[in-house]
Amino acid sequence: MARTKGTEANLSSDKLLQIIEYMSARRLPVRLKDIADDLQISQPTVVRYLRTLCDQGYVYQDSQTGQYAMTWKICRLSSSLESNLVLRSMAGSGMMQNCRNCGSGGCPPS
pTM of the model: 0.66
* pLDDT tens across the length of the chain (110 residues): 444 555 666 889 999 999 999 999 998 999 999 999 999 999 999 999 999 999 999 999 999 999 999 999 987 877 777 666 666 666 666 655 665 666 555 444 44
Q: Give me the pLDDT at residue 3, please.
A: 46
What distance in Å separates the CA atoms of residue 12 and residue 49, rounded to the nearest whole number?
9
DSSP state of 2: P
pLDDT at 75 (0 to 100):
79
> According to the model, what pLDDT value does residue 108 have?
47
Amino acid letter, 20: I
- Confidence at residue 1, expressed as pLDDT on a 0 to 100 scale: 40
Judge contact between 19 and 49, C-beta under 8 A.
yes
77/54 Cα distance (integer angstroms): 16
In 17-85, which ranges are E strands? 59-61, 68-70
pLDDT at residue 79 in the model: 74
Is 75 in contact with 58 (CB distance < 8 Å)? Answer: no
What is the 8-class DSSP label of residue 35? Answer: H
